[in-house]
Amino acid sequence: MSEAGFTGELWRSIEGIYAAILDHPFIRGLTDGSLPRDRFRHYVVQDALYLRDYARALSLAGVRSPDEGALVMFDEHAVGAIKVERSLHESFFRDFGITEEEVRRTPMAPTNLAYTSYLLRVASLGDYHEVLGAVLPCYWIYAEVGRALLERGSPDELYARWIDTYGGEEFNELVRAVLELTDRACAGLNPDQRAAATEAFVTTSRYEWMFWNMGWTLEGWPV
């Protein structure tokens, strides 16, 4: 989606991670329909829990921004993360017969807790460019995965619904806005600042792979 500017550099830093994501059996199972439903169910519940803290991280990104336009955008995206994606999750919950109470009582899996804890720490304590680096992969990788899978389609209506959401133009417009903001905000960074933003971007990109792997392995607490 972006080859120029700082975001182009960021994407090139995770090309291997992104390739591993596309090759993961969870992702491949969405398009060929082979993904077991219990693994998708586990993923969806954990994703709903994740979004509560991701929305908080987006709100913090807005608060940390020196740009009022970014403040408004991130606040709108935080609301959208809760409203739009919750609507998608609720449709899956109905399919699986899961209640909101069950979701609330489900503990975060270790990977989910580690990912959200890292996001909130960077959003609270990191410099603004690090915050942008940390929140960007959840937007961008989902958009790229969604578009890649949209070309393949899925024989499973449930999985096709997920693919259509993230591969659709509405979600891609949000991602383009964040990419443009990141390029503007990071244009004058010195080498150390660029390295810090890149480290945050790579770290949460790794967590994205781990999140799908969490769904695939039905990850829970061992003790």
Residues shown for the chain: 223
Catalytic residue among 85, 130, 138, 186: 138
Nearest CA-CA partner of 109 in 49, 28, 151: 49
Catalytic residue among 85, 130, 144, 208: 208
* Active-site residue, 138 included: yes
Residue 22's Cβ-side half-sphere holds a number of Cα atoms within 13 Å equal to 16
Other Cβ atoms within 10 Å of 155 Cβ, number: 10
Residue 121's Cβ-side half-sphere holds a number of Cα atoms within 13 Å equal to 9
Nearest CA-CA partner of 141 in 55, 30, 17, 48: 17
Q: Which residues contact 149 (CB under 8 A, 6 or more apart)?
A: 27, 30, 31, 163, 167
135, 81 contact by CB (below 8 A): no
- Catalytically annotated residues: 138, 208
